[in-house]
Amino acid sequence: MSLRVCRNVTVLEVSPVGQRKRPDEFYEIRLSLPDWDGWKPGQFVMVRPASWELDMLWARPFSISSADADGLTLFVQKVGRGTARMARLAPGDQVALWGPLGNSFAVEPDTPTLLLAGGIGIAPFRGYVERHPHPENLRLFLAHRLPLECYPYDLLSNRVDCRCLLEACPADLDLIIAALREQIAEYAAKDGLILACGPTPFMRTVQTFAAELGARAQVSLENRMACGVGACLGCVAPDAEGHHVQVCTRGPIFWADKVRL
Amino acid sequence: MDMHVSFGGLSLKNPVMTASGTFGSGLEFAPYGDLRRLGGIVAKGISLAPREGNPMPRIAETPCGMLNAIGIQNPGVEDFVRRTLPSLPWRDVAIVANLYACDAAEFGELAGVLAAEEGIAALEVNVSCPNVREGGIAFGQDPAQIARVTEAVRKRAGGKPVMVKLSPNVTDIAVCARAAADGGAHILSLINTLAGMAVDIRNRRPRVANVVAGLSGPAIKPVALRCVHQAVRAVDIPVVGIGGIASAEDALEFILVGAHAVQVGTANFLRPDFAFGLADEMEALLAGIGASSLDEFRGSLRLPL
């Protein structure tokens, strides 16, 4: 089937993740999208529930966490009005969905590859690990604020080398930054590949260390966007020459030395 | 029902156009529908030289609307003519170039470049952008400037229809409509965005870096309808209605008050295939409410005596 579709799909399941111990902040949402293949890890979709009618206009962008013959899985963190209402979706609800959108993370099967996730930034790495031909070459480092059960961590820790640091207090941030530097240095030394997804300050830190240590790194940007197709120009970021480029179509993945954060 | 419309020298297979700044060059939406199903495509604002636009953040979502302050980011007219226009199905759908410049002479120069292009069906003059410091709304709020810019474009348009896009951010839209008509406009299009603002009480900052931005979406439809209603009565040239159209019923409301066609803007962001089916939906709705034709329905609003 052709890629890039816009269609109405059905919500199959909305499951809070880690709710037993924490307030319900993370959700796994399964959408019906049979026979959807050909997407690449790092790409995203735009999702707009029918129930929003006209009170909220924009669809919301979500990394594709996983997709198979039965449907599409997204991880959603409640951070604003849109994601809070996404969490109230129920099986059977209809949403408009278009995608897969944007470019994707580099895959170098035989290269030692470090996946750096800040919180919900772990979402696209589930698909990356599932689709990688040699997951033994992968290591995931997760910097997280909530217990591990709030993230799709078990799905990854069963398959790749995983290391984690909890940010429970401001002092932990220094430990996380030090750990990031240490890991990036390790992968720079072995000419590895570094892929990062998370909040902008996390991306900026990765970018800084990658430049300092001479590492090959890609960062995934999450700018606010209205259309997802390159038309509204609301999501642009300055590239290395200062030109504004659309994150939705020229990204969301950028080589760290080719974009200004 | 025949949905074809001809007005002001423009011939469209149906009255649905896409509004500048909300549909890219048009090519961005090609994966989601057949561009030839549209009556017209108004391309993203074009300037003589490339523009990087405003700093981020540039957009914010508001109830039933959105704010934008993109700042006419575009690759410049040469790039548009050389790279984009040949890829558009201009033989099958009217491609309208939206012109942005800083003074009347520059508008004229830009019009001259675009008028020479066979693929351009009409020129839309943007005298109403609220998001740029130079030109933009400064023209749109001064009737003398509207007339001057319109005249400059008309002189260089090579006989192509000149459509002037008006701002609602004025005291009297009728005065501006007459100024454009006096300057030689063949068609008016209205409205552009309303000047608006959104702020964040937590970080005490504006939500858009430009501070003031343009409000669009269903929230502005009543203002747009009012402006179209007043403009239709102020001038004898045809009017294209723009502002918050998010359904066939919305589009027909503009036709009812006298618009010859509509431009769909922010609704293109609700889903990228929105505009493609709108003409069919309008046709079905017209039949459903017992209208015999688009011409019969246009401007048939019954006003209180």
Report DSSP letters for B34-67, one per residue: -GGGSSEEEPSPB-SS-B--PPSP-EEEETTEEE
Q: How many CB pairs under 8 A join A and B?
A: 93
Q: How many residues does chain A have?
A: 261
Question: If pLDDT is split at 50, 70 and 90, which confidence band does A35 have?
Answer: confident
Look at residue B99 in the predicted model and tell me its pLDDT.
Answer: 97
- A224 to chain B, any CB pair closer than 8 A? The answer is yes
How far apart are the C-alpha atoms of B174 and B187, rounded to whole Å?
A: 14
Secondary-structure class of domain B5-297 per CATH: alpha beta
Span A88-100, average pLDDT? 96
Q: Which residue of A has its CA nearest to B265?
A: A232
Percent of residues, chain A, with pLDDT higher than 90 = 85
How far apart are the C-alpha atoms of B261 and B264, rounded to whole Å?
A: 10
Span A204-211, average pLDDT? 98
- A84 to chain B, any CB pair closer than 8 A? The answer is no
Just give the CATH number of A4-101: 2.40.30.10
Kindly state the DSSP code that residue A228 receives in the 8-state scheme: S
- A4 to chain B, any CB pair closer than 8 A? The answer is yes
How far apart are the C-alpha atoms of A164 and B188, rounded to whole Å?
A: 61
Q: pLDDT digit string (tens) for A152-177?
A: 898 899 999 999 999 999 999 999 99
Nearest CB partner across the interface for B272, out of A229, A233, A244:
A229
Residue A3 has pLDDT above 60, yes or no: no
Alpha-carbon gap: B270 to the closest alpha carbon of chain A (Å): 6
Query: Given the DSSP bridges, would you call strands A26-31 and A71-77 parallel, antiparallel or unpaired?
Result: antiparallel
Nearest to B141 by CA among B155, B130, B154: B130
How far apart are the C-alpha atoms of A164 and A143, rounded to whole Å?
A: 6
How far apart are the C-alpha atoms of B67 and B147, rounded to whole Å?
A: 28
Q: Which residue of A has its CA nearest to B31?
A: A4
ipTM of this predicted structure? 0.94
Question: If pLDDT is split at 50, 70 and 90, which confidence band does A1 have?
Answer: very low
Contacts of A98 in chain B (CB under 8 A): 32, 271-272
Span A37-65, average pLDDT? 95
E strands present in chain B: 5-7, 10-12, 16-18, 40-42, 59-62, 65-68, 94-99, 122-126, 162-166, 187-190, 194-196, 199-200, 205-206, 213-216, 239-242, 261-264
Alpha-carbon gap: A17 to the closest alpha carbon of chain B (Å): 28
Contacts of A227 in chain B (CB under 8 A): 28, 268-269, 272
- Residue at token pair 């401001």: A170
User: What SS3 class is residue B149?
Assistant: helix
Q: Which CATH architecture has domain A113-220?
A: 3-Layer(aba) Sandwich (3.40)
Question: If pLDDT is split at 50, 70 and 90, which confidence band does A5 have?
Answer: confident
Cis geometry, peptide bond prior to residue A252 (ω within 30 degrees of 0): yes
Partner-chain contact A54 B29, CB within 8 Å: no
Domain boundary assignment for chain A: 4-101, 113-220
Span A26-33, average pLDDT? 93
Nearest CB partner across the interface for A6, out of B60, B266, B273:
B273
Residue type present at position B288: G
Residue A193 has pLDDT above 90, yes or no: yes
Q: Do residues A28 and A123 make contact, with C-beta atoms less than 8 angstroms apart?
A: no
Nearest CB partner across the interface for A231, out of B29, B64, B271:
B29
Residue type present at position B159: G
- Residue at token pair 């199903």: B37
Partner-chain contact A231 B44, CB within 8 Å: yes
Q: pLDDT digit string (tens) for A115-130?
A: 999 999 999 999 999 9
- Angle of helix B278-288 relative to helix B248-256, nearest 10 degrees? 70
Alpha-carbon gap: B234 to the closest alpha carbon of chain A (Å): 32
- B68 to chain A, any CB pair closer than 8 A? The answer is yes
Q: Do residues B26 and B39 make contact, with C-beta atoms less than 8 angstroms apart?
A: no
DSSP string, A105-164: ----TTS-EEEEEEGGGGHHHHHHHHH-S-GGGEEEEEEESS-GGGTTHHHHHTTSEEEE
User: What SS3 class is residue B204?
Assistant: coil
How far apart are the C-alpha atoms of A234 and A225, rounded to whole Å?
A: 6
The reply, when asked if residue A164 is annotated as ligand binding, is no
The token pair that represents B118 in the structure block: 């066979």
Domain boundary assignment for chain B: 5-297
User: What SS3 class is residue A247?
Assistant: helix
- Sequence-distant (6+) residues with CB within 8 A of A19 are none
pLDDT averaged per 10 residues, chain B (length 305): 97 98 96 97 97 96 97 96 97 97 94 98 88 66 94 97 96 97 98 96 96 97 98 98 98 98 98 97 98 97 92
How far apart are the C-alpha atoms of B151 and B108, rounded to whole Å?
A: 8
- Chain B (220-249) residues lying within 8 Å, Cβ to Cβ, of chain A: 246
Look at residue A33 in the predicted model and tell me its pLDDT.
Answer: 85
Report pTM: 0.95
B110-115 — which CB contacts under 8 Å span 24+ positions?
Answer: B110/B46, B110/B47, B110/B48, B110/B77, B111/B152, B111/B153, B111/B155, B111/B156, B111/B157, B111/B162, B112/B156, B112/B158, B113/B48, B113/B77, B113/B78, B113/B81, B114/B46, B114/B77, B114/B81, B115/B156, B115/B157, B115/B158, B115/B159, B115/B160
Residue type present at position A111: T
How far apart are the C-alpha atoms of B176 and B127, rounded to whole Å?
A: 11
Nearest CB partner across the interface for A57, out of B28, B53, B61:
B61
How far apart are the C-alpha atoms of A33 and A30, rounded to whole Å?
A: 9
Of B64, B102, B129, B176, the catalytic one is B129
Alpha-carbon gap: A233 to the closest alpha carbon of chain B (Å): 7
- B72 to chain A, any CB pair closer than 8 A? The answer is no
